[in-house]
Amino acid sequence: EQAIAAINRLKQKSPPSDTLPSNLLALVSMGKGENGKARETLEDTLRQSAGDLSASINLAQLAIGEKKYADARRLYQGALEKHPHHLSTQLKVVGLDGLEGKYKNVISQLIEIVRDNPEALEPRLMLARYYLRFGEPKKTESLLDEIRGKHLENADVLMVLTESQLEQQRYPRALETAKALLAAAPDSAMSHYLLARAYYENKDFKNMRPQLEQTLRIDPKFFLSRLVMVRLQTAEKQYPQARQILDELEKEYPNEVEVYTLKAWFALELGKPKEALQAYRKAYAIYPSSETVTQLARALWAEGDKNNSLQCLQDWLKKYPQDLDRHYLLAKLYTGLGRAKDARDSLEQALRLNPNNVVILNDLAWLLRNEDPGRALELAELAAVAASRSVNIMDTLAMVALEAKQYDKALSAISKAVDLAPENPTYRYHQAIVLERTGKTEMARDLLRELLMKHKGFASRDEAESMLGRLEKSSL
């Protein structure tokens, strides 16, 4: 009432063309939750003054609240026709694209706005946050480094820089930036939280916890710190306290995916896989993503529901056939079931998406070594060129070359694998196989004797014993 009285006094002193009083009245109505009355006031203002900035922006906010994005866009565009270079409104249009999931538009528009307004901080920060959100922290840092000298104590800049450095695993640098952030914003819960994260990543656990606790003193409801506190208390076996925070989070954030992935993690820590599976189902229902489908598939697999584990990945890949990592995961699950053909098909799909992926080349070569040794050798050699110091890849090359009857290559590759990992019994056993197949039977027999004497338990011990028995029998 006092605000309305003040606005009416202002209106009496203002010329009829002044839209400020009506815009202020609309804000009061919005503050009282009388959105219909606010809308009437703002629409009347626009009829009197088309493209009025405040009226257009406030009406657009009401439209966004009702998810009427087309109406909001029309209002913003009307304001920009009257005020074509109004930066704040330009950024609101960009934000609207973000709400509609048009992220490519968002980034391309922001790049243009930053180029046209090189000294403006807000669009640069907005673009930096989008880069960070979409996994490009290097771009985030370089974008802000250009203007950091002019904003040495700006908390927003330091906050985004800290996050980008943490994402790039530049932990010592992130710690320095986080300390500068705390100095710039000592009363911010997020400042203390990011410093806690930086301490954690630098393995300074002693200094981490006080910062985390300080965030909760500043803001007892601070979401991120409560998530971390559940993990800390679980690690310290304070299960009732962790459970209490978790229950509170679930009640307060019933549609937050991170709460349910944390709930699943907590259940697994307590040895309750069925509870974990239920939580992963909920997380996936709230936010189907590559991460949540992976978690759900693995949880189903662990519970023995292998058919549904495969099915959820298959369904995901029908919608997102370009998801290389899920093709690879599906191949691993098929391999675990002994479904070699299905595993090969999944790896072939993955290889089409990334023909130079060393892991996929290696795994597909291994699966093809008996069926198509020629192609398997081509794939293994490509992998070996890219990763000649990988013991696993050299071992695959050796065994594939053996099946392709390329004995010199097999001997060379297995020798390199053994040189890289001389104590690994599996590679020594494979070396014995190659030696026997290349006519070096006595050397193979001696190697097996030494291997079995030295290593009492390893995955291929039974096969190695059988092979030694056969070689000794043949030598009689």
pTM strictly above 0.95: no
Q: How far, CA to CA in Å, does 245 sit from each of 41, 223, 293, 446?
A: 45, 10, 26, 61
Region of 4 (left: φ > 0; alpha: ψ -120 to 50; beta: rest) is alpha
User: CA 344 to CA 136: how far, in whole Å?
Assistant: 32
- Any idea what the Cα angle at residue 86 is, between residues 103 and 4, rounded to 5°? 105
* Contact criterion met (CB below 8 Å) for 260 and 280: yes
Q: What is the mean pLDDT of the chain?
A: 93
CB contact burial 45-59 (16+ within 10 A = b; e otherwise) = bbeebeebbbbbbbb
Q: CA 377 to CA 361: how far, in whole Å? A: 10
Phi, psi of 32 (to 5 degrees): -85, 0
What is the token pair recorded at 432?
Answer: 């014995």
Cα–Cα distance for residue pair 309/259, rounded to 1 Å: 22
**Torsion sign across C-alpha atoms 415, 417, 419, 421:** negative
pLDDT at 278 (0 to 100): 97
The tokens for 418 are: 């053994």
Give the alpha-carbon dihedral of 162, 163, 168, 170, to 10 degrees.
30
Give the 3-state secondary structure of residue 271. coil
Put residue 338 in one of left, alpha, beta given phi > 0 → left and psi -120 to 50 → alpha. Answer: left
Identify the pLDDT of residue 314. Answer: 97
88: phi then psi, degrees, rounded to nearest 5: -60, -40
| C-alpha–C-alpha distance, residues 462 and 469, integer Å | 11
> Sign of torsion, CA 241 242 244 248?
positive
In this prediction, residue 281 carries a pLDDT of 97
- Distance between CA atoms of 77 and 72, rounded to whole angstroms? 9
What is residue 291's predicted lDDT score, i.e. its pLDDT? 93
Distances, alpha carbon 223 to alpha carbons 190, 258, 289, in Å: 10, 10, 21
> Are the beta carbons of 273 and 299 closer than 8 angstroms?
yes
> What is the per-residue pLDDT for 344?
96
- pLDDT 10s digit of each residue in the chain, 476 long? 888 899 889 888 888 888 898 889 899 999 888 999 999 999 998 888 888 889 999 999 999 988 999 999 999 999 999 898 899 999 999 999 888 888 888 999 999 999 999 889 999 999 999 888 888 888 988 888 888 778 878 999 999 999 999 999 999 999 999 999 999 999 999 999 999 999 999 999 899 999 999 999 999 999 999 999 999 999 999 999 999 999 999 999 999 999 999 999 999 999 999 999 999 999 999 999 999 999 999 999 999 999 999 999 999 999 999 999 999 999 999 999 999 999 999 999 999 999 999 999 999 999 999 999 999 999 999 999 999 999 999 999 999 999 999 999 999 999 999 999 999 999 999 999 999 999 999 999 999 999 999 998 889 999 999 999 999 988 76
Say how far apart CA 25 and CA 1 lie, in whole Å: 11
